[in-house]
Each structure stands twice: as C-alpha cells, then as structure tokens.
Structure 1
Amino acid sequence: MSTEANVRNFFASSASAAVGASSNPANFGHRVYAWYLYLYHDLPVTPSNPGSATISALEKDHPTVPSVAALPNPNQTSITVITPGLQGWCILVYSKRRLKAAGKL
C-alpha cells in the first residue's frame, strides 16, 4: 500500500488513539494530542497514558486509557505512538525483532 493510501486509511478510521499523550505542553505527546483535538475535532481521539487517569489539553481534562489493549475497539483504532526524545529508533528496532520472532516479517 502506498504512503498516501496508508494516510487515507489512517484518517478514515472511526477511532484514533495517541499513545504517550501528556498534560505537559513541552512534551511532544501533549503537542500531538492537542493537534488532533484542534484540527480534527470530529475524530474521536483517546489519549493513552499509563501514569495518569486524565490529561489536560486545550483547557479541558480528558480521560485516558492505560494501554492500547484497554481501548474499546483496538483492532479498529488508528494508533499514533509518541515516544520520549531519542527513544523512537529503539522502539522500531525492538518491534522489528519481535515481529520477526513471531513470523510476521
């Protein structure tokens, strides 16, 4: 599937989640989640943060889920994963190894 088709499919999803969403405006997790709320207010976006039951964004508190598994319909949810700085490449490498070990790659 092309990148453009993947993007269309991602935003056509009936639900979305931002893993790593944060109340701290200095964190990318906060910025990305607030961006979704501001630009795509008709798209239901669930923040995921295992350390907090709610996060604050755009002057409102939003209930979080602790993990992707806790989402109402995880298989029909587009997921954005926001990592702390300099950790994203580690997650990609680890995920690739796990997918290979599971026979998915």
Structure 2
Amino acid sequence: MPERIAFRMKVHPGRIAEYKKRHDEIWPDLAQALRDAGVSDYSIWHDPETDYLFATLVRADDHTMASLPRTDANRRWWAFMADIMDYNDDGTPTVVDLKQVFHLP
C-alpha cells in the first residue's frame, strides 16, 4: 500500500520567492527521477514565521527513494539549491523526518 511521508527543511530568510521560482521551473529530468523512484503527490509548504518548509509525498510500496541521491538530476538539484536552504556538511539538505500523529481519512 502506498505510504505518505512528511519531513521538514528550512529555507534561508528572505529566500522563499527564489525557492518557489526554482520549484515552479523544476527540471523535467528531476521530476522524472522522482516519478521513477515511485514518488507522487509531492507538496511543499512554507511557514513564514520560521522559514521552515513542510513537505509531504506519497511513495509506492516498491519505491526506490534511497537511490535518488545517486542520480545526476538529484545531485545537480541539491547543488543548485544549496545557496538558499540549510544543508549538511556533506552537501545534502538538512531534513527532519516527521511522525504522523493524526489522520482523518
């Protein structure tokens, strides 16, 4: 059964317009890599008080999300976004997995 997951990231203060612009122009090869990995229904929300980004996505039972960081499209995207988001020392975005505590179907 497909699974919905959620996580949190952070955009640098004052950079949300650029963040949105870049996502409005998402590269076709990155969108395809996400779909190929079994990702669908991917949404990102912004909290203007904290600049936290809240993301949800649905992943297929047989998803291959763990292989996404090895794709050229994903590596290029992370490098492209590093100037406007919080990143780890290894060049990956800082991501906090979130636990579901309520769902109303």
Output the TM-score relative to the length of structure 2. Answer: 0.29
More strand by share: 2
More helix by share: 1
Q: Which has the higher contact order (CA 8 A, sep 6+)?
A: 2
Output the TM-score relative to the length of structure 1. Answer: 0.29
